[in-house]
Amino acid sequence: MPEQKIRIEKLCYGGAGLGRIEGKACFVPFSAPGDEVAVTVAREKKSYMEAGLSSIVVPAPCRVEPPCPIFGDCGGCNWQHVSYQEQLAQKTEIFADTLRRLGGIEGEVVLPTVGSQRQYGYRSRIQLKLATRGSETYLGFFRGSSHEVVDAPMGCAISDKPLNDAALELRKVISRLPERVGVTGIDIATGSDGATIAILHGSAASEGGLADALLKAREELPSVTGLFLRGGARKVFGIEELSYTVPQGFLPALPETSLSFARGGFSQVNYGQNLQLLRTVWEWGAFTGSERLLDLYCGNGNFSVPLARYVAEVIGVEGHAPSVADARKNAQRNGIGNATFMVLDAAKAVRRFLSEEENFDLIILDPPRSGAAGAAEIAGLGAPTIIYVSCDPPTLARDLRILSDNGYTVERSQPVDMFPQTYHLESATLLKRRH
């Protein structure tokens, strides 16, 4: 098909812009709402097309210059070319449209997206890919829709400075080591205090020599506070956990609360926006001090530990045993005595609570991207209030439909921009049981 000129109407979940060719939807990556562009159709399906951006004929007013030199090659960010205010507006529209189409939830319950104070340098963890080509070492990110490593010697524009500092130091050390062959990637995470833990992944064939070489080079890695091999199983040196802080007084009468997670453990990638989620959950919980709170997919106690001070009892459920160990430590370190954490699959836990006729005043859900398992059974617990925290609008919409069909009403939904410069989005949704 010859080159076509189209106007981009809006951005879509997945990151591409939407235009139309003879009425058929055409998705164009790296386009902006209001762009007039020339495109070349790469593939055509029954109901839509996918096209590559050949040129920008007339740029949209919201189009800005991306600061990252590998933007468009790296498969990470997809919206650096769009002004941040437009990103927020598009995310609100995408979120509301997803809930309406997939969940039957009317758009008026969706609040404007809460923007991030840091639009760059916000990420607290990254996954870098490593490849060797002859004598050269490439450390960066996969190109979009491929396993080709795009080298990022300047670091990552959306990653916090300690991560980029650690990556630069590791690059210099690893690139000169013969043992680097077999290393396929590096995960780096940082706490809110700037400490970092790096985990090297890959073949164990030269593991012993690699560990020895890295230990000898420790003085060249001042930004790496802890270093591990083999998915975190083999320690080379340094600390074994990271922490982030909920400041004193962030919630009424809340003392400073420090939450830790072990190497390789889960934490939100944007600490500032995690606080916004916590504030939203606290406000919507409207706690009186007498509540029994169930926190499903509780992780390291991210919500359970700070909120325990406002309720009578917290039960936290998490299927990943190391995260439960973190949650228990966090409760103890912060003087929380009314929280119990159990290692159990969330769906199995719900079935147990149903069989034992347990009652809860409020349920917090913070499932993985795949959504909440057994949403109908969660509804069967009959809690007056559910607050559903989600990182995936489509699975959230699916589960909201199930909960709505089983006695709940969605009162409001708050998108929170945890991931600036990308189409990804976090949210909190308040549901009330119908009488």
Query: Got the DSSP string for 316-349?
Result: EEES-HHHHHHHHHHHHHTT--SEEEEE--HHHH
The pLDDT of 82-86, averaged and rounded, is: 98
The pLDDT of 169-187, averaged and rounded, is: 89
Average pLDDT, the chain: 95
Which residues participate in catalysis according to the annotation? 391
For residues 199-238, one letter each, b for 16 or more C-beta atoms within 10 angstroms of the residue's C-beta and e for the rest, the string is bbbbeeebbeebbebbeebeeebebbbbbbbeebebebeb
Q: Provide the pLDDT confidence category of residue 299 given band limits of 50, 70 and 90.
A: very high
Give the pairing of strands 48-58 and 24-28: parallel
Residues ≥6 apart with Cβ < 8 Å to 71: 77, 80, 81, 157
- DSSP, res 367: -
pLDDT at residue 296 is higher than 70: yes
pLDDT at residue 82 is higher than 80: yes
Nearest to 331 by CA among 339, 343, 321, 322: 339
Query: Looking at per-residue confidence, does 133 or 147 come out higher?
Result: 147
The C-alpha atoms of residue 277 and residue 323 are separated, in whole angstroms, by 19
Tokens of 103: 């969940």
Q: Provide the pLDDT confidence category of residue 416 given band limits of 50, 70 and 90.
A: very high
pLDDT for 2: 82
Q: Rounded to whole angstroms, what are the CA distances from 252 to 53, 246, 279?
A: 51, 12, 10
pLDDT for 209: 87
Question: Where do the DSSP E strands lie in 203-262?
Answer: 226-229, 234-238, 241-246, 257-262
Q: Which domains does the chain have, with CATH numbers?
A: 4-63 (2.40.50.140), 91-117+243-253+266-433 (3.40.50.150), 125-238 (2.40.50.1070)
Residues ≥6 apart with Cβ < 8 Å to 176: none
pLDDT for 70: 96
The pLDDT of 297-317, averaged and rounded, is: 98
Q: Provide the pLDDT confidence category of residue 346 given band limits of 50, 70 and 90.
A: very high
pLDDT for 204: 62
The pLDDT of 130-142, averaged and rounded, is: 90
Residue 355: other Cβ atoms inside 10 A: 8
pLDDT for 153: 94
pLDDT at residue 205 is higher than 60: no
Nearest to 278 by CA among 309, 242, 317: 309
The pLDDT of 313-338, averaged and rounded, is: 98
Q: Taking the CA of residue 89 as centre, how many other CA atoms within 13 Å lie in the half-sphere pointing to its CB? A: 9
The pLDDT of 353-377, averaged and rounded, is: 97
Single-letter amino acid, residue 405: D
Q: What is the phi/psi pair of residue 409, to 5°?
A: -120, 130
Q: Are 26 and 20 in contact (CB under 8 A)?
A: yes
Element (H, E) at 96: helix 84-103
The pLDDT of 224-231, averaged and rounded, is: 92
pLDDT for 181: 75
pLDDT for 194: 97
Lowest mean pLDDT among 42-56, 139-153, 205-219, 416-430: 205-219
Query: What percent of the chain stands above pLDDT 70?
Result: 99
pLDDT for 12: 97
Q: Is the full-model pTM beyond 0.85?
A: yes
pLDDT for 132: 87
Q: Are 113 and 92 in contact (CB under 8 A)?
A: yes
Residues ≥6 apart with Cβ < 8 Å to 283: none
